[in-house]
Structure 1
Amino acid sequence: MAFPLPRGLTPSEIGFLAEMEMVTVVPRQRLEGLELLGGPIEPLVPPQRASLPLWLALLLKRQRRANIMPPSWLHPEPLNLILEVESQHPDYRDTFSPPPPLPGQPSIRDDGLAPTARPQYTPDGNRYYASPPFLPQNTAQAEGFSSRDPPALPFHWVEMGNMMLESASDDLVEPDQIRRLLKDLREVRLAKMRAGTDVLDAAATGGGGVALTGVGAMEVGEERGFLTGVVDNLRKLGASKEQARREQMAEQRANGAYDGAQDEEEEDYMEF
Structure 2
Amino acid sequence: MAEDEWVTILPSFNHPTMHFISGDIGPFEVSIPINVPLWLAITLKKRKMCNIKPPSWMTTENIRSLVQREKSLEGFQQLPSLHLMEISFEILKYASEDLIASNEKDIDELRVAIEDLFYIRNHKIRNGFVTLGTEDISLSSIKLNGIQSMELNNIRPIFTETLQVLAEFDKHIDSTFQAKKF
* Superposition TM-score, scaled by structure 1 size: 0.58
What is the RMSD of the two structures over their aligned residues, measured on CA atoms? 2.2
**What does residue 187 of structure 1 align with?**
119
Q: Residue 214 of structure 1 aligns to a residue in which SS?
A: coil
Give the Cα–Cα distance (whole angstroms) in 2 for the partners of residues 23 and 46 of structure 1.
17
Equivalent residue, structure 2, for 1:214: 146
The higher radius of gyration belongs to 1
| Residue 209 to residue 242, structure 1, CA distance change in 2 (3 Å) | closer
Confirm whether residue 155 of structure 1 aligns to residue 155 of structure 2.
Answer: no
1:44-98 per-residue CA deviation (whole Å, 9 max, x = no partner) reads: 11221100111111111111111000001111010000000001x3xx2x21112
Task: Tell me the SS of whatever aligns to 1:193.
Answer: helix
Displacement of 1:240: 4.4
CA distances 1:90-124 after superposition (whole Å, capped 9, x unpaired): xx2x211124xxxxxxxxxxxxxxxxxxxxxxxxx
Q: CA deviation at 1:203?
A: 3.1
1:20 Cα deviation from its structure 2 partner: 1.3
Judging by fraction of residues, say which structure has more helix. Answer: 2
Aligned partner of 2:137 among 199, 202, 207: 202
Could you say what secondary structure the match of 1:19 adopts? helix
Instruction: Say whether residues 1:98 and 2:78 are aligned partners.
Output: yes
SS in 2 for 1:24: strand
Aligned letter for 1:210?
A: I
TM-score of the pair, normalised by structure 2: 0.84
Match of 1:22 in 2: 6
Tell me if the contact between 1:22 and 1:53 (Cα under 8 Å) persists in the aligned partners. yes
Q: How does 1:255-270 map to 2 (within 5 A)?
A: 262-263=181-182
| Unpaired stretches in structure 1, ≥5 consecutive residues | 1-16, 100-151, 250-261, 264-272
**Equivalent AA in structure 1 for residue 82 of structure 2:** F
Indicate the residue corresponding to 2:163 in structure 1.
231
1:65 aligned partner, one-letter code: M
1:167 aligns with 2:167: no
Following the alignment from structure 1 to structure 2, what is the Cα–Cα distance between the partners of residues 240 and 44?
62
Aligned length: 174
In the other structure, the counterpart of 1:141 is none
- State the Cα deviation string for residues 6-33 of structure 1 (Å, max 9, x = none): xxxxxxxxxxx32111110011222222
Equivalent residue in structure 2 for 1:53, among 37, 46, 51: 37
Supply the AA of the counterpart residue of 1:79. I
Deviation of residue 175 (structure 1)?
2.1
Name the SS of the counterpart of 1:163 in structure 2. Answer: helix
